[in-house]
Chain A
Amino acid sequence: MAASGRLDLVDSLTGHRGRVWNVSWNPTGTVFASCGEDKTVRLWTKSSGQRTWMNKTVLTDGHQRTIREVAWSPCGNYLASASFDATTAIWDRKSGEFECNATLEGHENEVKSVSWAKSGNLLATCSRDKSVWVWEMSEDDEYECAAVINAHTQDVKKVIWHPHEDILASCSYDNTIKLFREDISDNDWVNCGTLTSHESTVWGIAFDKTGTRLASCSDDKTVKIWQQYLPNNPEGVVTEGSEPTWKCVCTLSGYHSRAVYDIAWCHETELLATACGDDTIRVFKETPASDKNEPEFELVCTVHRAHTQDVNSVAWNPKQPGLLVSAGDDSRVNLWQFKEETIIF
């Protein structure tokens, strides 16, 4: 009996002109934001009783160039957008509608990614200028740069925060993933881990719900699973000082025929979805009872031509299990519902 499933297309939404780079759900899963080449952020929602997702709001005039990524604050009241114009805009809905009330400046060139810490008052951005910035938000909505981290040697593609702690992960054109945390003694942000194994640009990273595992996807056409090992771990994995070691425990190769641009790890169903340059969305599931030190993942679903061009982004709805949104170079935003199928031969 093999695990298997399918993704049914729920909606295929048009509105953006040109490539759509990113999609992101709000924390309650009732609204998602999309952004792209046309310099707009679009908010989509489904009114009660209606079957289709509708574009309710278009946020314009926040940026001069492509908007690469959008991210929601954990409270859902703020939206951050990272742009090739070297700025990050913060939109809030104090007035009832989302309005751009702050712009974070400082990066030398394109901002590639933005992410909010779960604690809510920390924000991270990264750029082609090779740096990662940590921003602190004060109670009166002032943003102050708390750290400029120059740990990567190339263009930094993405930043994400740990699901529970103030630990930051970044991935880069330099083929590595790095972890950072604040050193309490001097309030300095320090590199507390470098994950090396990918052979080309690491485009996407995602934590599982426990935060003890990380998935990464790369231009080298593979997906890797990394496991955290704390000091004195029973497996005997060597650690340094009080820092945990992250070890690559699984490589999924041979599934993707082109660069893998994004990966999403569902905290409800634990399914892994990937967005690939071969126009395909794939879903992987961990084999039941697989060893955490040598886990096995099965490909449970493949949607060829999920978009008519590259798929750039995938995101699982945080509340509705199996609801996935994707964005592509074909200007479309597609919604999918995952259904498990049990095949009995």
Chain B
Amino acid sequence: MCADRLENVNPELFQKCFERDITPEEEDDNIVDEFDSREIFDLIRSINDPEHPLTLEELHVVEQKLVEVNNENNEVNIHFTPTIPHCSMATLIGLSIRVKLLRSLPARFKVSVEITPGTHQSEAAVNKQLADKERVAAALENKNLIGVINQCISV
């Protein structure tokens, strides 16, 4: 998505985290290896920002410490932090995170994607929209929108 004028012209950049070390236990098929926050973070950190040629990780929109996994209750809760409090892309970013996780995780997981409290002026409205699975389903049937999202989540 190429806007004529960037909303946040000069975003602050952050260091990417190191690649995850693969332990011998993880390679052992006999050991049950539950989803952890690093694994979920790895799925979403390389999502592209709709505005900049940067990843959500580099912009600190997503962070591992804001990923919560509860395997027993089949819950994954993500908080994401828009780069600026009036970011008009917040819904699109949240939707991209949702779609990426819907496609990657087993269907048993209930995924919630919310704005980090206090970081966006329309936080409640965006959260409500992202939590409404009927509106999300309708949005994902919109060819233009799904095109943009696919671009954001393509590696």
Contacts and interface: CB of A to CB of B under 8 A. Distances in A.
B138 A110 contact: yes
B108 interface: yes
B137 interface: yes
Contact of A310 (B128, B132, B133, B138): B133
A258 B135 contact: no
A253 interface: no
- What size tier do the contact residues of chain B reach? 10 to 19
Contact of A155 (B108, B110, B135): B135
A332 interface: no
Interface in B57-79: none
A277 B128 contact: no
A84 B132 contact: no
A110 B137 CA distance: 11
B132 A19 contact: no
Contact of A65 (B107, B108, B132, B141): B141
A208 interface: no
A66 interface: yes
A330 interface: yes
Interface in B123-137: 128, 131-135, 137
B12 to A, nearest CB: 34
Contacts of B138: 66, 84, 109-110, 128
A68 B134 CA distance: 9
A114 to B, nearest CB: 15
Contacts of A66: 137-138, 141
B90 to A, nearest CB: 18
A37 B140 CA distance: 11
Nearest to B129: A173
A109 B134 CA distance: 13
A329 B109 CA distance: 12
A68 B135 CA distance: 11
Interface residues of A, number: 25
Contacts of A37: 137
Nearest to B108: A308
A109 B135 CA distance: 11
Interface in A209-260: 219, 258-259
A37 B131 CA distance: 18
Interface in A248-301: 258-259, 277-278
Interface string A88-125: 00000000000000000000011010000000000000
A309 B108 contact: yes
Interface string A308-344: 1110000000000000000001100000000000000
Contact of B141 (A84, A128, A259, A277): A84
A309 B109 CA distance: 9
Interface string B96-137: 000000000001101000000000000000001001111101
Contacts of B134: 68, 112, 157
Interface in B26-63: none
Contacts of B128: 173, 200-201, 219
A173 B110 contact: no
A200 B133 CA distance: 14
A19 B133 CA distance: 11
A201 B135 CA distance: 12
Contacts of A277: 110, 133
Contacts of B133: 277, 310
Contacts of B131: 219, 259
A309 B107 contact: yes
Most buried by A among B108, B110, B135, B137: B137
A308 B110 contact: no
A201 B141 CA distance: 22
Contacts of A155: 135
Contacts of B137: 19, 37, 66, 84
Contacts of A128: 135, 138
A308 B137 CA distance: 19
A152 B55 CA distance: 39
A66 B137 CA distance: 9
A154 to B, nearest CB: 10
Given A277-B133, A330-B107, 16 more contacts: A66-B138, A66-B141, A68-B134, A84-B137, A109-B138, A110-B138, A157-B134, A173-B132, A200-B128, A201-B132, A219-B131, A219-B132, A278-B110, A308-B107, A309-B108, A310-B133
8 contacts: A66-B141, A68-B134, A112-B134, A155-B135, A200-B128, A201-B128, A219-B128, A309-B107
Shortest beta-carbon contacts, A-B, top 4? A110-B138, A84-B138, A65-B141, A309-B107
